[in-house]
Amino acid sequence: MDYSDAIEDFLHYCMINDGKAKNTVDAYRRDLAVYRSFMHERKVDLQKISHLDILEFIRFIRETRRPTSVNRMGSTVNGFHHFLYNQYKIHDPTTKISLHRAKNPLPKTLDRDQVERLIQSFSDSLIERFQRTFCLCLFSTGLRVSELCGLTLNQVYLEEGIIRIIGKGNKERIVPIGKAAVSALRDYLENIRPKWLRRSLSSVFVGPKGLQLSRQYVWSVLKYKSKELNFEPSISPHTLRHSFASTLLQNGADLRIIQELLGHSDISTTQIYTHIESDRLHRSYDEFHPGRLLKEENENE
- The pLDDT, as a whole number, for residue 279 is 52
Task: Just list the catalytic residues.
Answer: 144, 168, 238, 241, 264, 273
Which residue from 229, 256, 231, 236 is spatially nearest to 245, judged by alpha carbons?
256
pLDDT band of residue 273 (cuts 50, 70, 90) is low
C-alpha to C-alpha distance for 91 and 259, rounded to whole angstroms: 37
| pLDDT tens for each residue of 209-255 | 999 999 999 999 999 999 999 998 789 998 999 898 888 888 888 88
Is there a contact between 9 and 32 (Cβ–Cβ < 8 Å)? no
C-alpha to C-alpha distance for 181 and 175, rounded to whole angstroms: 12
User: Does the reported pTM lie above 0.85?
Assistant: no
SS3 of residue 216 by DSSP: helix
CA 251 to chain CA mean position, Å: 22
pLDDT band of residue 263 (cuts 50, 70, 90) is confident
C-alpha to C-alpha distance for 28 and 48, rounded to whole angstroms: 21
DSSP-assigned beta bridge partners for residue 206 = 212
- The pLDDT, as a whole number, for residue 298 is 44
C-alpha to C-alpha distance for 57 and 59, rounded to whole angstroms: 5
Contacts of 105 (CB under 8 A, 6+ apart): 67
- The pLDDT, as a whole number, for residue 297 is 41
pLDDT band of residue 293 (cuts 50, 70, 90) is very low
| pLDDT tens for each residue of 145-201 | 999 999 999 999 999 999 998 877 677 899 999 899 999 999 999 999 999 998 889
| pLDDT tens for each residue of 34-69 | 999 999 999 999 999 998 999 899 989 988 887 778
- The pLDDT, as a whole number, for residue 286 is 53
- The pLDDT, as a whole number, for residue 276 is 53
DSSP type of residue 163 = E
pLDDT at 203 over 70: yes
Q: Where are the alpha helices (DSSP H) in 100-214?
A: 112-120, 126-141, 145-149, 179-187, 193-196
pLDDT at 135 over 70: yes
Which residue from 257, 277, 276, 275 is spatially nearest to 267, judged by alpha carbons?
257
- The pLDDT, as a whole number, for residue 250 is 81
The string over 17-41, giving b where at least 16 C-beta atoms fall within 10 Å of a residue's C-beta and e elsewhere, is eeebbeebbebbeebbebbbebbee
Question: Would you call the peptide bond into 237 cis, given omega within 30 degrees of 0 as the criterion?
Answer: no
Percent of the chain past pLDDT 70, that is, above it, reads 85
Which residue from 116, 67, 105, 108 is spatially nearest to 246, judged by alpha carbons?
108
Which residue from 1, 85, 88, 86 is spatially nearest to 36, judged by alpha carbons?
1
DSSP-assigned beta bridge partners for residue 165 = 173
- The pLDDT, as a whole number, for residue 284 is 46
